[in-house]
């Protein structure tokens, strides 16, 4: 990871991120002043599953891979690919609100440039810029609700695909010759 000191070169990219899109130019500049711009090389880890961190990230350029660890039958752990995120996408929103373990690992899929914002810096931004802070929070909450809805839909689909008790009873009856 390398910190980029010239944030002005990335201002236009930050303004294109939906989370920051509704901020005024002054609000965006204040937020950028509280943020870090970081560069990661391909395959470099950004966040590790189960760690607690107060960081929120916005992808300015490049892509990241999101994965989770899963136990295999022999007890070993393997990384399971979940998705790829690209420019304009964000991750780590929950870390802005609560001290919670990360639910996934994130690594650079290619060279990537990120805007990183810490929970305490967002709080300071909200106190100094309540209108901008409310706009930012509304977009973050909307983003979280969209992710929750997608997860709920996926769970509902999986439940439909699962066998229910009647299927098991029928299978057992067929096997037992009833």
Task: From 114, 113, 107, select the one nearest 43 (Cα to Cα).
Answer: 107
Name the residue range of residue 17's domain: 2-176
Q: What is the mean pLDDT of residues 17-46?
A: 97
Q: Find the helix or strand (DSSP H, E) in which 36 lies.
A: strand 36-40
CATH number for position 154: 2.60.120.10
3-state secondary structure of 151: helix
pLDDT of res. 135:
96
CA 30 to chain centre: 23
Contact present, 105 and 67 (Cβ < 8 Å): yes
pLDDT tens digit string along 162-174?
Answer: 656 677 777 778 7
Q: Quick check: pTM over 0.85?
A: no
What is the pLDDT of the chain when averaged over all its residues?
A: 91
Tens of pLDDT, residue by residue over 32-55, are 999 999 999 999 999 999 999 999
Taking a C-beta distance cutoff of 8 angstroms, is the pair 65, 107 a contact?
Answer: yes
Report how many domains make up the chain.
Answer: 1
How far the first Cα of the chain sits from its last, in Å, is 65
Q: Give how far the C-alpha of residue 71 lies from the chain's centroid of Cα atoms, to the nearest Å.
A: 22
Of 54-58, 114-118, 155-159, minimum mean pLDDT range: 155-159
Whether the pLDDT of residue 106 is over 70: the answer is: yes
Hey, is 60 helix, strand or coil?
A: strand
66 strand-pairing partners: 83, 106
Q: DSSP label at 110?
A: S
């Amino acid at each position: 990871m390398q910190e980029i000191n010239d944030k002005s070169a990335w201002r236009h990219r930050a303004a294109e991120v939906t989370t920051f899109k509704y901020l005024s130019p002054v609000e965006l500049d204040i937020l950028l002043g509280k943020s870090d711009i970081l560069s990661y090389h391909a395959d470099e880890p950004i966040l590790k599953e189960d760690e607690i961190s107060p960081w929120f990230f916005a992808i300015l350029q490049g892509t990241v891979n999101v994965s989770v660890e899963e136990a295999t039958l022999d007890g070993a752990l393997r990384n399971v690919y979940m998705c790829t995120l690209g420019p304009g996408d964000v991750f780590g929103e929950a870390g802005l609100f609560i001290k919670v373990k990360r639910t996934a690992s994130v690594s650079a899929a290619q060279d990537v440039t990120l805007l990183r914002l810490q929970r305490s810096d967002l709080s300071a931004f909200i106190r100094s810029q309540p209108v901008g802070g409310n706009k930012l929070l509304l977009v973050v909450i909307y983003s979280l609700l969209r992710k929750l809805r997608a997860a709920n839909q996926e769970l509902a689909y999986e439940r439909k695909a699962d066998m229910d008790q009647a299927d098991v009873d029928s299978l057992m009856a067929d096997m037992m010759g009833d």
